[in-house]
Structure 1
Amino acid sequence: MIEPVGPSSARSPQQVRRAGVGPAVPVLDLPASWAAARTALRLTADGTERDPGPRVVHADELGGLAVLAAAVGPDTEPVPDVRALDRAGSVAPWMLATLHAVAVEPSLRTAAAALNLHHSTLQDRLTRAERLLGWNVRDPQGRLRLQLAFALRRMHRHPESPPR
């Protein structure tokens, strides 16, 4: 479902479930903007502990993720990293939110602050998470891998629906 988002919307960002926002275009290009908004919607999350991530995604900020979204369809099998992320998330209620914070924050200290954790507690959680995932999430390559796993997970959770 695409929710209205913008200055004229009566809903606060906390009330928006999930929204894909297409680019502002001339009237004749509205079908392309609608299609881009539907792609952006696939990369949204509920913003909860079980489905962490952005509730609102703007299509013009997707970059290469739009190409990836086109390659991941309803019949596409999840890659092993997505399966590992789901398995890790089933172990502890804090796991996905912790990993998401590590994936999106600029440093482990800011991730710990965003989670209201002491940085040593975050380190302990990451040690456990890395054992479950099978890769290091503390280096740049591991963080990119984690970011891609989250994006792919959202695409699988929200496969493209037919236009209305």
Structure 2
Amino acid sequence: MPDLSTGAKAPEFTLPRDGGGMVSLSELAGKIVVLYFYPKDDTPGCTTEALDFTALAPAFEEMGAVIIGISPDTVAKHEKFIAKHSLSLILASDTDQAVANAYGVWREKSMYGRTYMGVERSTFLIGPDGILRQVWPKVKVKGHAEEVLASAQACSAT
């Protein structure tokens, strides 16, 4: 498992994104990147998280930060999710979980006594230099986007 603590280099990725095309970390060099992993489009917690980040998107954009949500859902599902909720962030499709594995968020989970593999809701704040500035494992959605914004603002001030 890679070292994904604060101060480590963020793993590179290139993934298909909503609207066609690809998004890659290397293309965003020089920008603050908020990379958040979530389990599934259009579920209650994931919708709340996406809406919270969308509500704060202007403040992130003001400092030149880019928000990218990653889940195992397809690009087509991402596009429906964006249209249904008027989301203003990039959603990338990690259908083979390669990026989730690289970031250590593809984990064994359990619900109702059944175990399965899935995404552990996590967020990574990546500085303009590609270094992890802050990591939030096992995210609780309420208040999370505001907390990430405060950390991103502190990151942009340095």
Under a length normalisation based on structure 1, what TM-score does the superposition of the two structures give? 0.25
Under a length normalisation based on structure 2, what TM-score does the superposition of the two structures give? 0.26
Higher strand residue share? 2
Higher helix residue share? 1
Higher radius of gyration, 1 or 2: 1
